[in-house]
Amino acid sequence: MSRFPLTGALQRDSRALDTLPRIASQSLIGWRAEDGVLTPLQSGIAATVRQRTESATIHASDGVSGPLAATSPAFTSVDWDGDGLREAEALLLSTEEAVRWHAPTGAGLVLPVASMTLRHDWIESGALAADLPLWSLSDDAAAGGVLTLAGNGGDVAFTLETGSASVSAMCILAEPIALGDRVSARASLIRDGSDLRVQLALVHVPAGELAPVSRGDVAWRGAPETIGALSSSVAAMSAWGDGNGVRCRLNERADVRGQQLVVASFLYPGARPRREFAL
């Protein structure tokens, strides 16, 4: 008979070491703010953070706000399902901050140039209107093969650069995304033989409105999704980045950083519909 303390040694020990219980994840790199750490769910992936220099203002679960020292990542309580209660967690990232996921040694990620799907959930905090990045798969200089989810004149664009060409997919919504709105992007990179295409689909819930599926389902499974047009094709490159120092980046592309409240970010293998999103 195993006897573990009822106080949750399995989870809390892991938490204090900034690692997570290794939940069987279907994703290549998967991260949720609710876990309270910057490392993703996958073992063997480390996180590096570019810190802010000033304290942040974050919110308690009951709405009380207060300062947080600059050396702590600014996890904060947010209302994700729109019922007025701050029941969910998000990571507040300013234009100074970025999170990078890479090998524990600091080496870059080696990922095949194959179909993949990004699920990125965030609360809009000004990145879109300023054309700032939300997520990217790139090396430090954003050379060679780069995938970027970023603002584009107030809309969202998912862009693939191969080093010699680029294609971009957008998803124009009937109602523009405003500050405080909740957005869940499903951005697909689709490989067709030696060609690549990109496509972007969004679930958009304006601030103050109830999310279509609340019952604690952060992924808004089954929510109406607006699907943008498939991009034109571009010849596939041989590797991501310049083959060195490739990282999966939150809030950063090259030396440009965005500003957002990130709730979750998952990169899955293959082109997936929303109903197949898992941890």
Partner 1 sequence: MIVGPLSWLFAESGDGFSPPDPTPTPAPVSTLARVETMCWVNDVPVESLGLILDQPSGWLEDRARGFLDGVKAPGRTGGYLGAPAGGEARVLVLQGHVLNVALLSQTDVTARLTEQLHGLLELRWAHAPERVLRGEVLRVDVSPANPRRAFVRPSDTTLAVRIEISCRDSAFYRRAPRRMALSSSARAIPVGSLAVGGEVWINGPISAPLDLELYGAHGAPLAVLALRDAPSDPVDVDVGESLRIRIDSPRAVLRYHADGSIASHPAWWNATFSTPALLASLSVGASSVAPITARLSSGTGWWILPEAWAH
Cβ 108 to partner 1 shortest distance, Å: 18
Cβ 119 to partner 1 shortest distance, Å: 11
Amino acid at 94: S
Phi, psi (degrees; rounded to nearest 5) at 16: -70, -20
Q: Under the criterion CB under 8 A, does residue 103 sit at the interface with partner 1?
A: no
CB of 9 or CB of 235, closer to partner 1: 9
CB of 30 or CB of 133, closer to partner 1: 30
Cβ 186 to partner 1 shortest distance, Å: 15
Q: Under the criterion CB under 8 A, does residue 125 sit at the interface with partner 1?
A: no
Cβ 117 to partner 1 shortest distance, Å: 15
**In this chain, which of 218, 237, 261, 267 binds partner 1, going by CB under 8 A?**
218
Q: Under the criterion CB under 8 A, does residue 262 sit at the interface with partner 1?
A: no
Q: Under the criterion CB under 8 A, does residue 105 sit at the interface with partner 1?
A: no
Q: Under the criterion CB under 8 A, does residue 62 sit at the interface with partner 1?
A: yes
Q: Under the criterion CB under 8 A, does residue 96 sit at the interface with partner 1?
A: no
Phi, psi (degrees; rounded to nearest 5) at 121: -110, 130
Q: With contacts defined by CB under 8 A, name the span among 82-90, 131-139, 176-184, 233-241 that binds partner 1.
A: 82-90
- DSSP 8-class letter at 113: S
Distance of CA 48 to the CA centre of its chain: 15
Cβ 87 to partner 1 shortest distance, Å: 6
For 69, residues 6+ apart whose C-beta sits below 8 A from its C-beta are: 55
Cβ 24 to partner 1 shortest distance, Å: 3
SS (H, E, C) 215-272: CCCCCCCCCCCEECCCCCCEECCCCEECCCCCEEEECEECCEECCEEEEEEEEEECCC
**Partners of 167 in beta bridges:** 160
Element (H, E) at 11: helix 9-16
Using CB atoms within 10 Å of the CB of residue 59, give its burial: 0 to 12 exposed, 13 to 18 middle, 19+ buried.
middle
Tell me which residues touch partner 1 (CB under 8 A). 1-13, 15-16, 18, 21-26, 33-34, 36, 38-39, 46-49, 51, 53, 55, 58-62, 64-73, 75-77, 87-89, 215-219, 221, 275, 277-279
